[in-house]
Amino acid sequence: MQIHGTPITLTSPQDADMADRFWYWQGTSGRKYIHSVYSLDCCPPLPGAVYVGVKRAGHLRIAVTVGRFTPFWDKTLPEKDTARLQRLGVDEVHVHLLARGSEAADGIMKDLSSALSETRVPQGLNETTSAWVRAA
């Protein structure tokens, strides 16, 4: 199993900008989780949310890391988190906001993390962590 990512399916031409705003990531369980897409420097306060750190390469999305935000913050993404994600080459933060509580969010994070850890780095990438590439 590999971590798979796909853009939201569009139903009309008026929704064309939605493809870059929402993304699905699939965990080891086969379950898909919808994520809101934010640039690394514009991620709003989303305490406790599950995220996928993504490196963007044209129309490709490379999942680099999976985690959860701290339970408390009141500005954009904390500086220490931003610095760590920048070191990993993350351009976008894909955030899953629909977990029904902390226990459910932990389960989603583990599902996605498991899929990422089972992934092989595609040839030509020089990442310090596993990644999977999906064309948009």
- 51-107: per-residue pLDDT in tens? 999 998 888 889 999 999 888 767 767 777 788 899 999 999 999 999 999 999 999
Say whether pLDDT at 129 is over 60.
no
Tell me if residue 108 falls in helix, strand or coil: helix
- Report residue 69 as tokens: 């935000």
CA angle 28/126/36 to nearest 5° reads 45
* Domain boundaries along the sequence of the chain: 22-130
The pLDDT value given to residue 83: 87
Say whether pLDDT at 124 is over 60.
no
What φ, ψ does residue 65 adopt, rounded to 5°?
-155, 155
Mean of the per-residue pLDDT values for the chain?
80
- Counting Cα atoms < 13 Å in the Cβ hemisphere of 11 gives 0
- Other C-beta atoms closer than 10 Å to the C-beta of 55 total 20
| Cα distance between the two ends of the chain | 19
Share of the chain above pLDDT 90, in %: 48
